[in-house]
Structure 1
Amino acid sequence: MSLYDDKPWLARYASGQPSEIEVEHDNAVDMFAAAVARDPEGDIIRYFDGRITRRELDELSDAFAAGLADAGFAPRERVAVYAQNVPQFVIAQLGTWKAGGIAVSVNPMNRERELELVLQDSGASVLVCLRGLYREVARNVVAGTQVRTVITTSELEHQTRNDQRLFSGVDGAPCEGAVDMAEVLERYRGQSAPEVSLGPDDVALLTYTSGTTGPPKGAMTTHRNVVFNAQTYRDWIGIGSEDVILGVAPLFHITGLIGHVAVSLLTGAPLVLMYRWDPAVTLETIREEEATFTVGSITVFIALMNSPGAKKEDLASLTKIYSGGAPIPPSTVTAFQKTYGHYIHNIYGLTETTSPSHGVPLGADAPVDPATGALSVGVPVYGTVVRIVGEDGEDLPAGEVGELVTSGPQVVSGYWNKPEETAHAMGGGRFRTGDVGYMDADGWFYLVDRKKDQINAGGYKIWPREVEDVLYEHEAVREAAVVGVPDPYRGETVKAFVSLRPGATAEPEELIAFCKQRMAAYKYPRQVEVLDELPKTVTGKLLRRDLRTREQQRSTAT
């Protein structure tokens, strides 16, 4: 008997093979064209008091594509987009596709060395960036790369509110030596995009991995990947043109690219952008725009809970809430639901799976494993096969811990210019995630941790995630990250780093004792350090690697 025979709601999501799933459009440009045809005058982007309709976005992206072509841009060349959550990001990405190119998303927090790495690795011939980023970073880098054209733009455009909480100190003056994006759009507006051929297997995006476990690699995300997982968001969560998408995830990240931009282009639902993340601005925006859906890191929702003056009615419209990219402590889901009345649904995926491979169906509560306290990341989404395998590569039975290996239409075609890494991670059409977890007897999946994060204390294996989940149960703890540090007796021991809720106090000894009462003797942290803020990626993922490096440097110094 199948695990899903007596669970029809699970069977709906877990059944099927990749070949059985219909990808409705050959490419992301056709996907958007269908939305324009359905309702050209509906909003597609909202940026403070600015509005861009579907017809206008179609015209603006045509103009961008025509400008690229006139400058000698050829199909399959790369355009790097180095910007925050502004409308120009979407215009440039869609315009790049219309010109037959590949959009390269660049983390706006990148500095010279990091930006140069992405530009060199991708071979981008065009760089689109905010003016401030050009002055501070990019102009010191581009001369040594293949970039022929730099197009700059301002975060002040497409709106007039100029909220000083976000825009204080922003210089909107044009940059010398760069092309102004507004001038390009004005000059070429009304012209058609060049005639290009885009197939499902053509690369749409180079999306660079976060580098939490090593140097970033450019995942080659195809148009089929983009369209398929835009459909997944739409159908799994029930997103339609009447929804309003709140853009809290950075657009350069795969969550923002698919869970915000792609699903908006597919459904026609307006995407609300806020330049950069600010809890107070976000709460106001939810109320003003009556946002209904968002997906972001759990740190976003923790910040909203701790925002001064936040009220239940602030999030009344936001009924479809998903979180991915970082582990979710069950206690946080409970606290958020108590505060706002809405349940945070888990969703799981990686850059290499074009965002989700698993999710908790809307309206369902994820189970919590009583043995580990882990919150389930859901069940595999449409047409996706996920296996739990041991060190020998063989399938493991339900309940046993192994590596998650994923197959499906969302798995990218490989890493840019890295055939060996591609063969290792994606050989045989199966992506080895590097994440460790298990499936229970009911078909729910749970993550334990990254393989490389496991701590070995005197022969006892400890997963940081389990210790972190216990720390999150303490009323004073806002965030927690656990790493292994050198220990003369055990080889390695457990150290926890925590930040505290506003106004809360807790001594390290108190937190150690709290964990000791709730965990096996070999698991609880022997050291706790309280920090104002824990290091995170721009997407909110806690950087254990940075904490380990700091501890290693301390050890070396002594």
Structure 2
Amino acid sequence: MTTSSYGDRPWLALYREGQPTDIDPEFDNLLAMVDDAVRRAPHQDAIRYFDGRMSLAELDAAADALAAALQQRGFAAGDRLALFSQNHPAFVIGMLAAWKAGGVAVSVNPMYKQRELRHLLQDSGARVLLCLDEVHEVAADVLAGAGHEVEIVISSAGRDFQTRDDPRVLPDRDPAALPGAVGLTDLLARHAGQRPAPVRAAHPDDPAFLVYTSGTTGEPKGACLSHANLVFNARSYREWMELSPPDAILAIAPLFHITGLVGHGVLSLLVPAPLVLGHRFNAEVMVDLIREHRPVFTVGAITAFTAMVGGPGVGPDDFASLTKVYSGGAPIPPSVADKVESVLGAYVHNAYGLTETSSITHLVPPQRRAPVDPESGALSIGVPIASVRARIVDGAGDEVPLGEVGELAIAGPQVAEGYWGRPDATAASFPGGELRTGDVGFMDSDGWFYLVDRLKDVIIASGYKVWPREVEDVLYSHPAVREAAVVGVPDEYRGETVHAFVSLQPDAVVTEAALVAHCRERMAAYKYPRAIAFVDELPKTASGKILRRELRGGRA
């Protein structure tokens, strides 16, 4: 039964009838999961990339060929293969090939520059780098230097595996050369029909993926996610959403991010269901893909949905197939959720998870709407999914009473064992195997969980705590506001003061004084922003999460 140390909780009544409260592992490892999918539906689409199609059997054969090629070049069990790629078939092929050769996949954000890529390659000890041609320049600079273990470099063109180019997301310039690289399509052709040499079957606790979590406090760390972690949470998605093979999955989130990796990539192989890829997020491209492929399920940051529904000529009919829609990666202000639903035609359910938890730990049940906490105005992140143990703790790790604010701590089958090569960081973040999330929130008497903010983002103004989320939610309630982010800035008198950054809806006009007054009327005097800067776009991660830390250093 889904429990926390609070005991049996009312949230069990929020599950739909028949929803399991515990999930037993269905497969011992990810390759057993993939083999089962290929056996059941070899001719079903595994990937749809623009006009390109790849069946499960074709995907499996391509991964076999690449795995065989890697082994012949010295790749051994336990070695790491880094994937420097957008949402492209090469990412999925490389991921499967790493597992088939007994190795570990490593995701790399394709927006990384030289310093960031160099750190990741050094930290992971990757022996193989598979990258798209559009990042050749960055990769070439890093590979020309010392300090990394990369021995095999594979390049794939963004236009591979498709029959139609889309200049909205694909570069229209010739890529720079990447010395020493072998082309992926050439490699697959050369080794077509080959299978990798047998390796020891992966143990459930063996690492399958290193996913680097943001370096908000120091350098990024690689969360070491096991076969069991990823299989469990893919199955959690499938059971919760009640997905079946005809239900195409739209990859809004990037595959290199934990939401896209598990909630799109691994999930599609488990169901199995077609995975619709569009290279990288572009609102117009995504809407076109929905119109063409009629996907049923997706999960992504609320900023992505806001961008899609804000396009010209877009209406509920365009999104009619998307009946199962979830948002993760960033909290949803209630007013934004309402605006998106009015165009999307479907309610966007909240989801919560982290890189260290292999994506989801909390979801809003399919037949429910997330409640809004009357005091903080926060929209609930949902209830714990099957087998999750969630609690709210104080600084000493002791549980706080229901309704009181503290840090969210999580344990369960999807929680990583720790960070790659970082025993001290692992001990600090995973005491007793329980993840301390750094997220501040509370649980109400009905079992709903709410987040207030990040511990590191709290603003101390004149001795009072101000949670940026609360101020942002008030700003979002103004009809002119498209996006908002709030940070604390130094203040000689108050210690810190509240500073907001806002982008406006198209053609909207509002003054700084009007927005300040809007907030002052709706919150305590120490909370409302003393200054508001208007910007065209707020800085975001690739998954759509607004980067407050970048705003702190560049305030107007």
Give the TM-score band, short-chain normalised.
Answer: over 0.9
Q: What corresponds to 1:231 in structure 2?
A: 235
Root-mean-square deviation (CA, aligned residues, Å) is 1.6
From 177, 181, 195, the counterpart of 1:178: 181
Query: Letter of the aligned partner of 1:509 in structure 2?
Result: A
Q: Once the 2 structures are TM-superposed, how far is the Cα of residue 132 of structure 1 from its aligned partner?
A: 2.2
Q: What corresponds to 1:328 in structure 2?
A: 332
User: Structure 1's 289 and 369: CA in aligned 2 closer, same or farther, altered over 3 A?
Assistant: same
Contact residue 249 and residue 275 of structure 2 kept, 8 A: yes
From 7, 31, 45, the counterpart of 2:13: 7
Contact residue 13 and residue 379 of structure 1 kept, 8 A: no
Q: So what's the TM-score if we normalise by structure 1? A: 0.96
Contact residue 14 and residue 383 of structure 1 kept, 8 A: no
Q: Once the 2 structures are TM-superposed, how far is the Cα of residue 319 of structure 1 from its aligned partner?
A: 0.7
Contact residue 13 and residue 381 of structure 1 kept, 8 A: no
Counterpart-to-counterpart distance in 2, 1:447 and 1:408: 19
Q: Once the 2 structures are TM-superposed, how far is the Cα of residue 166 of structure 1 from its aligned partner?
A: 2.1
Q: How does 1:341-490 map to 2 (within 5 A)?
A: 341-490=345-494
Identity within the alignment, %: 54
Q: Once the 2 structures are TM-superposed, how far is the Cα of residue 550 of structure 1 from its aligned partner?
A: 2.4
Counterpart-to-counterpart distance in 2, 1:8 and 1:525: 37
**Cα deviation 1:233-258 (Å, max 9, x = unaligned):** 00011111110100110110001110
- SS of equivalent to 1:235: helix
Q: Once the 2 structures are TM-superposed, how far is the Cα of residue 3 of structure 1 from its aligned partner?
A: 3.1
Counterpart-to-counterpart distance in 2, 1:100 and 1:259: 23
Q: What corresponds to 2:78 in structure 1?
A: 76
Counterpart-to-counterpart distance in 2, 1:179 and 1:157: 14
From 105, 108, 115, the counterpart of 2:107: 105
User: Structure 1's 31 and 6: CA in aligned 2 closer, same or farther, altered over 3 A?
Assistant: closer
Q: Once the 2 structures are TM-superposed, how far is the Cα of residue 500 of structure 1 from its aligned partner?
A: 0.8
Q: What corresponds to 2:24 in structure 1?
A: 22
Query: Letter of the aligned partner of 1:192 in structure 2?
Result: R
Q: What corresponds to 2:97 in structure 1?
A: 95
Count of paired positions: 547
Contact residue 5 and residue 11 of structure 1 kept, 8 A: no
Counterpart-to-counterpart distance in 2, 1:160 and 1:212: 40
Q: Once the 2 structures are TM-superposed, how far is the Cα of residue 213 of structure 1 from its aligned partner?
A: 4.2
- SS of equivalent to 1:394: coil
**Cα deviation 1:54-78 (Å, max 9, x = unaligned):** 0001100001100100001011110
Counterpart-to-counterpart distance in 2, 1:95 and 1:173: 26
Q: What corresponds to 1:85 in structure 2?
A: 87
**Cα deviation 1:160-205 (Å, max 9, x = unaligned):** 1112222242436874421111111111111112211211011000
Query: Letter of the aligned partner of 1:141 in structure 2?
Result: V
- SS of equivalent to 1:46: strand
- SS of equivalent to 1:196: coil
**Cα deviation 1:119-161 (Å, max 9, x = unaligned):** 0000101000011211x20111013211001100101011111
Counterpart-to-counterpart distance in 2, 1:316 and 1:5: 30
Counterpart-to-counterpart distance in 1, 2:88 and 2:11: 46
Moved over 3 A (4+): 10-16, 172-176
Counterpart-to-counterpart distance in 2, 1:6 and 1:232: 16
**Cα deviation 1:304-330 (Å, max 9, x = unaligned):** 121122121110101110101111111
**Cα deviation 1:358-381 (Å, max 9, x = unaligned):** 011112111111111100000011
Moved more, 419-428 or 185-194: 185-194
2:199 maps to 1:193: no
2:146 maps to 1:140: no
Q: Once the 2 structures are TM-superposed, how far is the Cα of residue 276 of structure 1 from its aligned partner?
A: 1.1
Moved more, 164-173 or 500-509: 164-173
Counterpart-to-counterpart distance in 2, 1:5 and 1:120: 44
Contact residue 471 and residue 480 of structure 1 kept, 8 A: yes
Counterpart-to-counterpart distance in 1, 2:196 and 2:477: 54
Contact residue 47 and residue 272 of structure 1 kept, 8 A: yes
- SS of equivalent to 2:210: strand
2:537 maps to 1:533: yes
Q: Once the 2 structures are TM-superposed, how far is the Cα of residue 212 of structure 1 from its aligned partner?
A: 3.6
User: Structure 1's 119 and 181: CA in aligned 2 closer, same or farther, altered over 3 A?
Assistant: same
Q: What corresponds to 1:340 in structure 2?
A: 344
Query: Which runs of 5 or more residues in structure 1 are unaligned?
Result: none
**Cα deviation 1:277-324 (Å, max 9, x = unaligned):** 111111111011011110001110110121122121110101110101
**Cα deviation 1:465-493 (Å, max 9, x = unaligned):** 00001100111111110000011111101
Q: What corresponds to 2:257 in structure 1?
A: 253
Moved more, 210-219 or 53-62: 210-219
User: Structure 1's 11 and 399: CA in aligned 2 closer, same or farther, altered over 3 A?
Assistant: farther
Counterpart-to-counterpart distance in 2, 1:319 and 1:163: 27
**Cα deviation 1:470-519 (Å, max 9, x = unaligned):** 10011111111000001111110100001111111121111100000111
Counterpart-to-counterpart distance in 2, 1:437 and 1:465: 11
Counterpart-to-counterpart distance in 1, 2:341 and 2:425: 42
Counterpart-to-counterpart distance in 2, 1:153 and 1:11: 46
2:246 maps to 1:242: yes
Q: Once the 2 structures are TM-superposed, how far is the Cα of residue 14 of structure 1 from its aligned partner?
A: 8.9
Query: Letter of the aligned partner of 1:56 in structure 2?
Result: E
Query: Letter of the aligned partner of 2:73 in structure 1?
Result: A
Q: What corresponds to 2:311 in structure 1?
A: 307
Q: So what's the TM-score if we normalise by structure 2? A: 0.96
Contact residue 28 and residue 227 of structure 1 kept, 8 A: yes
- SS of equivalent to 1:300: helix
Contact residue 485 and residue 548 of structure 2 kept, 8 A: yes
Counterpart-to-counterpart distance in 1, 2:193 and 2:210: 29
Contact residue 487 and residue 499 of structure 2 kept, 8 A: yes
Q: What corresponds to 1:166 in structure 2?
A: 169
Q: What corresponds to 2:160 in structure 1?
A: 157
Contact residue 14 and residue 380 of structure 1 kept, 8 A: no
- SS of equivalent to 1:433: strand
User: Structure 1's 45 and 170: CA in aligned 2 closer, same or farther, altered over 3 A?
Assistant: farther
